[in-house]
Every structure is written in C-alpha cells, then in structure tokens.
Amino acid sequence: MNRPYRTLNSYLREQYGVKLRKICIDGGFTCPNRDGTCGTGGCIFCGERDAGEQLNPSLSIRAQVEAALEKADPEALWIAYFQNFTNTYAAPEVLKERYDAALFDPRIRVLDIGTRPDCIDETIAALLASYRERCEVWVELGLQSANEQTAARINRGYQNHTFTHAVRLLKQYNLPVIVHMILGLPGETQEDIRNTIAFLNRHQIDGIKLHSLFVMKDTVLADWYQSGQFTPISMQTYIEWAMDALTLLDPNIIVHRLHGNCLRKLLLGPDWIIRRDMILYSIDCRMKQNGWRQGCFFTKEPSLAVPCETAYSLDF
Ligand code: SF4
C-alpha cells in the first residue's frame, strides 16, 4: 500500500527486498530512572517491566532469539530488538556479551537497541558502531517531548541538551537514531507537538515512532487516570495531531510506527489504542483527501546534531 509517509517497510524492501520481522528481546537490563541513579519510579507511563510484558525474561537471550526463529519461515530475515528498559545501561563488556548472544544467526540483519540518551557515551557509541561490519545497527532514544516542563512532569529524568549530545555522538559514529515521541502527554497542546517535531528535524534523526499516551495498570499514570488528574486524548484528536506532525516532519525521516502497543489485560485506557488498523487507515485516508504527504509543510533549519561548523552552538 502506498502510504503518504515514508514507512519502515518501504525502507526494508529497498534494502533487503523483503519486510524484516522483529524479535523483541529482554536483555536483562534495568533503567537508571528506576534504580535511583538518576531517578526512582521511572517515567510516569512505564510499567514494572517497561514495554516488555510480552517478553520472557526467564529465557536466555539466545533462547529468546531461537524461539522466534523456530516459529517462522526459515527464509525470513530479522531485526534483533533489545526492547526492554535501557539496553546500554551496563559495562561495555556486559553489553558486548549480550549483543553477541543475539547475533548468532546470519538471518539477523539489524541490531536495534532501545536506550536513553544519558546512557550513551563515546565507548558505547564505538561498541555499537563495531557491529556495523556484521549488520545494520539502530539506536532508539525515548524523547517523548522537547518541552522541558513536560519532561519534568513525566519524570523523564534528563534534559534536552543530553539528547542533543547523544545524537551528535551517535551521528559521529554513523549510527542511525530512531526517536520515540508521545502525543497527548499531560498538559501538552498541539503547539508542543509542533515544537517537538521542529526540534527533531533540527537533529536530522533517521526514524520516528509516534503513539498516543495510554494508561497501563500499576503505573503512576494509572493513579492520575483513576483520580481524574489525567484524561487521554480521543482517537480523533490523535489522528489530527499525528497528521499535522507528519506534514511538518522532514520527509527523509522513516516512520517506524504510528500506534502504541499494550496487552489488553494491562490496558486501563483509552480502548481505541488497540484499533491499530483503524488508526492507520484514518491517517492514510485523511492525508490523501487533503493532498498531504510527510514533510509537505517541512522547512529546513540548521542542524543541532551534526558536529561541524554550523551557525548553532550549545552550552552544555
Ligand atoms: S526511560 Fe524507559 S525504561 Fe526507563 S523509566 Fe522511562 S520508559 Fe521506563
């Protein structure tokens, strides 16, 4: 299907001729925003097992990968996605051992690492880049919003300059950066979303994952939701805001996802987030009706992330 934005599937087909499947891995990491290093309790929407409720941490990393490979077509190609918590939060030798454990099969073509910008340094960037001889390497960073007040409200645990610094470092090592952004965060307006998209455009990121904020059981956000302190946005609002974000987004950025994922048994609300096909269909149809495409209202601005003599300088 010809979508009005640059999809991950189209990129994968260009590169590999087929769509790659994803193996979601629990690498046995924790998060500095939960263990007290930079915060406790984590981001307000993060559950006890982060996004990894469907994963099986009792299996070794290799066994998790083997289980996925065994279930599918032997010709399939794969992305090994270290998803749960902060997957660069350990000593480099531990990281290497865990990444190596997932990369035993040549059908795995992408090593995809989900992490936080405050857990990227030069040693880690160099380690990740060393895998580029073996496969593609992607780094996923959870920004959620470029509004510092929102970041404090959701207990993100780092400031925007940390994100800029990490993106610069990863770019120095030619590592593609995929950013997670949430629409409908407490107190945010459409203007905040536009500002976050402009901020991302200035970082020349490579990919984006968008979804609306949903409420999982046993989170701080669940308490806010049940006490009436937080009301999720409607599906209609999400579609409007997501379309607006896409029209402003740099057309070179690959859209990895436009919906959230949550097990039904853990979802408190809103129910509409599980209607993924309806969300994607509505965005497609509405954008096409309006004659909109990704980046149709994009304006290029100087980069904040490329380490060269640009007009910008940041005070860290
Ligand atoms: S950074 Fe990620 S793993 Fe850590 S608390 Fe926030 S959402 Fe959870």
Cα–ligand 1 centroid distance for 46 (angstroms): 6
Q: Relative to the CA of 86, which ligand 1 atom is closest?
A: 3
**What is the pLDDT averaged over residues 42-68?**
83
Per-residue pLDDT band for 62 (boundaries 50, 70, 90) equals very high
Residue 292 φ then ψ, to 5°: -100, 150
Q: Are 176 and 12 in contact (CB under 8 A)?
A: no
Q: What is the dihedral of CA 3, 8, 9, 13, to 10 degrees?
A: 120
Percentage of the chain with pLDDT > 90?
88
Does the pLDDT value for residue 308 go beyond 90?
Answer: no
For residues 313 and 246, the model is more confident at: 246
The yes-or-no verdict on residue 311 having pLDDT over 60 is no
> Do 13 and 6 contact (CB within 8 A), yes or no?
no
In contact, 139 and 115? CB cutoff 8 Å: yes
Please compute the mean of the pLDDT values over residues 76-98 and round it to a whole number. Answer: 97
CA angle at residue 71 from 68 to 73, to 5 degrees? 105
Average pLDDT, whole number, for the chain? 93
Which of 26, 30, 31 is the pocket-test mutation for ligand 1 (most atoms within 8 Å of CB)? 31
Structure tokens at 68: 């996925």
Tokens of 224: 């806010």
Cβ atoms within 10 A of the Cβ of 42, count? 23
Q: What is the pTM of this model?
A: 0.94
85 lines ligand 1 (CB under 6 A): yes
Q: Is 31 in the pocket of ligand 1 (CB under 6 A)?
A: yes
Spatial separation of the C-alpha atoms in residues 157 and 43, rounded to whole Å: 8
Question: Whose Cα sits closest to atom 6 in ligand 1?
Answer: 43
Res. 264: pLDDT tops 50: yes
Residue pair 214/260 in contact by the 8 Å Cβ criterion: yes
Domain ranges of the chain: 8-290
Report how far ligand 1's centroid is from the alpha carbon of 158 (Å). 11
Q: Is the CB of 79 under 6 A from ligand 1?
A: no
Test site for ligand 1: of 37, 50, 83, 262, most ligand atoms within 8 A of the Cβ: 50
pLDDT tens digits, 98-149: 999 999 999 999 999 999 999 999 999 999 999 999 999 999 999 999 999 9
- Is the CB–ligand 1 distance for residue 202 below 6 Å? no
The architecture in CATH of the region 8-290 reads: Alpha-Beta Barrel (3.20)
- pLDDT at position 278 is 97
Across residues 1-22, what is the average pLDDT? 95
* Residue identifier of the C-alpha nearest atom 4 of ligand 1: 31
- The CB of 141 under 6 Å from ligand 1? The reply is no
Contact 163, 178 (CB under 8 A): no
Closest residue by Cα to atom 3, ligand 1, is 85
pLDDT of residue 231: 98
Ligand 1 atom closest to Cα of residue 155: 6
pLDDT in tens, 197-235: 999 999 989 999 999 999 999 999 999 999 999 999 999
Sequence letter at residue 188: E
- pLDDT for 312 beyond 50: no
Is 146 a pocket residue for ligand 1 (Cβ < 6 Å)? no
Mean pLDDT across the stretch 180-200?
98
| Residues 164/304, Cβ–Cβ less than 8 Å | yes
Ligand 1 centroid – CA 36 distance (Å): 12
- pLDDT computed for residue 275 by the predictor: 95
Query: Among all chains, which residue has been given the structure tokens 């270290």?
Result: 82
Given a cut of 50, is residue 6 above it in pLDDT? yes
Distance 105 CA to ligand 1 centre (A): 29
Burial environment of residue 166 by CB neighbours within 10 A (0 to 12, 13 to 18, 19 or more):
buried
Contact 111, 80 (CB under 8 A): yes
* Cβ of residue 47 lying under 6 Å from some atom of ligand 1: no
pLDDT band at 57 (very low <50, low <70, confident <90, very high): confident
**Of the residues 33, 44, 215, 262, which should be mutated to test ligand 1's pocket, given the most ligand atoms within 8 Å of the CB?**
33
273-308 burial code (b ≥16 CB/10 A, e <16): bbeeeebbebbbeebeeeebbbbeebeeeebbbbee
Q: Quick one: pLDDT at residue 315?
A: 32
Q: What is the pLDDT of residue 304?
A: 77
Under the banding of pLDDT at 50, 70 and 90, the label for residue 51 is low
